Amino acid sequence: MGNDPSDLDFAVIGDSAAFAQELASKLNRKQPSESQFLTFRITDSLIPIDVVTARSERYERPASLPRISPSTIEDDLLRRDFSINAMAISLSARDWGNLVDPSNGFADIMRRRVRVLHDRSFIDDPTRLFRAVRYSVRLNFTIAAQDEVLIADSLEHVDSLSGKRIYNEFKLMLEESNRIDILRRSEELGLLAAISPALRISLKNLELLEKVSSDGSTVPDLSDMLALLTFGLSEKEAEHTANRFDGPSFWTDVIIGNSKLARLAVVLDKPDILGSEVAECLQDIPLSCVRAYISAGSPLPRRARMVDYVSKIRFLKPEITGHDLITAGIPEGPTVGQLIDIVKRARLDGQVHSWKEEIELAKKRLPGFLINPELG
pLDDT one-digit tens code per residue, 262-308: 999 999 999 999 999 999 999 999 999 999 999 888 888 999 999 99
Q: Please state the rounded mean pLDDT for residues 25-35.
A: 88
Of 213, 265, 258, nearest to 236 by C-alpha is 258
CA geometry: angle 255, 260, 261, nearest 5 deg? 100
The rounded distance, in Å, linking the Cα atoms of 105 and 7 is: 19
The answer to whether residues 251 and 227 belong to one domain is yes
Domain limit, last residue, from 277, 297, 315: 315
Domain limit, last residue, from 267, 293, 315: 315
Paired with 10 in beta bridges are 51
126-164 tens-digit pLDDT:
999 999 999 999 999 999 999 999 999 999 999 999 999
Please, what is the average pLDDT of the chain? 89
193-208 tens-digit pLDDT:
999 998 888 888 888 8
Assess whether pLDDT exceeds 80 at residue 45: no
The answer to whether residues 289 and 337 belong to one domain is no
Does any domain span residue 189? no
Structural domain count, the chain: 2
The answer to whether residues 309 and 220 belong to one domain is yes
Read off φ and ψ for residue 99, nearest 5 degrees.
-85, 125
- For 305-310, the CB contacts below 8 A with 24+ separation are 305/268, 305/273, 305/278, 306/268, 306/282, 308/275, 308/278, 309/278, 309/279, 309/282
The answer to whether residues 233 and 285 belong to one domain is yes
The rounded distance, in Å, linking the Cα atoms of 295 and 297 is: 6
The answer to whether residues 359 and 327 belong to one domain is yes
Of 9, 13, 7, 12, nearest to 46 by C-alpha is 7
Read off φ and ψ for residue 53, nearest 5 degrees.
-80, 125
Does any domain span residue 335? yes
pLDDT of residue 157: 95
Of 111, 247, 107, 232, nearest to 174 by C-alpha is 247
305-323 tens-digit pLDDT:
999 999 999 998 888 888 8
Does any domain span residue 237? yes
The answer to whether residues 311 and 326 belong to one domain is no
- Per-residue pLDDT band at 218 (split at 50, 70, 90): low
C-alpha distances (whole Å) from 217 to each of 214, 299, 304 are: 9, 28, 26
The answer to whether residues 264 and 309 belong to one domain is yes
C-alpha distances (whole Å) from 250 to each of 2, 104, 163, 219, 307 are: 39, 43, 15, 18, 22
Where in the sequence is the domain holding 280, given as residue range(s)? 216-315
- Per-residue pLDDT band at 332 (split at 50, 70, 90): confident
The answer to whether residues 222 and 280 belong to one domain is yes
Distinct helix (H) and strand (E) counts, the chain: 19, 10
- Per-residue pLDDT band at 253 (split at 50, 70, 90): very high
61-94 tens-digit pLDDT:
887 878 888 899 999 999 999 999 999 999 999 9
Does any domain span residue 359? yes
Assess whether pLDDT exceeds 90 at residue 213: no
Assess whether pLDDT exceeds 80 at residue 44: no
